[in-house]
Amino acid sequence: MLTLRALGEAQTRLLYEHQLARDFPPSELRPLSAILSMRRAGLYDVLGAYDGGEMVGYALLYCPKEGGVLLLDYLAVEPHARSRGIGTTMLSLLKDHYAPRADALLIECERPKAARDEAEARRRIRFYLLGGAELTRVRIWLFEVQYSILVLPCSQTPRSEDWAEAILSMYRQMLSPRLFAQNVRLIRS
């Protein structure tokens, strides 16, 4: 049975150096120092998905204090455990885990037409759609990568949100005003 467990700082460092660096391109990686700083402040969760004693996946989430809407920053399944439904199970576990404090999880997926590998970007979006997420009309440019924003409801009736403002608000909280101004903008399409 798959379970989620919070990872400590040493485990987070190892996860970043080995799995995140392997699973995500450098242009999509948040600096480890930022992850650790937000984690220490209680604003960032680093979770391992365990099948028995073996970690088979992981999820990292930005969790603003006001809650309501969280950002699923990273989600991946270990290569040897892929194609077994673990990612889908993880999405379900995340929804249940955060339902008491969040109406929804926002998810950034690289825009297919702007991606290096359009087919892979489409597969990622399809994965989240099959897991219950909905594609919003929000498109955002972050640190030279273009993303589509999806929303995964955690509760049966999530409150109505301005998803563009929700994601921009999170990045205003995570970044300095200078970094935000230089690296974050909505894409009008």
- pLDDT single digits (tens) 36-66: 999 999 999 999 999 989 999 999 999 998 8
Q: What is the mean pLDDT of residues 15-27?
A: 92
Tokens of 82: 């892929």
Tokens of 97: 């885990």
Partners of 5 in beta bridges: 48
Q: What is the mean pLDDT of residues 86-101?
A: 94
The rounded Cα 106 to chain-centroid distance in angstroms is 7
What is the per-residue pLDDT for 17? 95
Residue 88 above 90 pLDDT?
Answer: yes
| Alpha helices in 16-156, H assignment, sequence order | 21-23, 32-40, 86-98, 118-130
Q: What is the mean pLDDT of residues 151-161?
A: 76
Percent of the chain with pLDDT over 70: 96
Instruction: Please state whether beta strands 44-51 and 102-110 pair in parallel, antiparallel, or not at all (unpaired).
Output: unpaired
Residue 18 above 90 pLDDT?
Answer: yes
Residue 180 above 70 pLDDT?
Answer: yes
Tokens of 30: 């948040």
Note the pTM of the prediction, 2 decimals.
0.91
Q: How far is CA 172 from CA 4, 30, 81, 157, in A?
A: 29, 15, 36, 27
CA angle 125, 48, 96 (to 5 degrees): 65
